[in-house]
Amino acid sequence: MIITDHTLEKMDDPFGILEGDRYEYHLFAAVDKEDELYSPEGLYIRVLYAVTESEQKIAGLFLHNRADDSVLDFELEEDEIELVREYCAAHLK
């Protein structure tokens, strides 16, 4: 899996309930045809990313089909999750 592009949006917390800041990434990924995640339409990973004074972490991670925006019932492997975490940390505004 290779992350080819992304969008990033800071999420609003109008009630001030959450500690720190929350961001929503849409990571667009290229997947090899032999990978179980492959689909001709492509996929993106929606990542909810939490940032506090003491840590940055993935708070939620969802795989979506790019054609119809449906949620895919797959989980990423540990090395793929680490790739996503590193990418999000490196591309945080």
Count of the separate structural domains present in the chain: 1
Query: pLDDT > 90: what percent of the chain?
Result: 67
Give yes or no for residue 17 having a pLDDT over 90: no
Q: Which sign does the torsion angle of CA 43, 46, 69, 11 carry?
A: negative
Give the domain extent around 72. 2-90
pLDDT on residue 44: 95
Whether residue 93 has pLDDT greater than 80: no
pLDDT digits (tens, 9 = 90+) for 67-87: 899 998 889 999 999 999 999
For 29, half-sphere exposure in the C-beta direction (CA atoms, 13 angstrom radius) is: 27
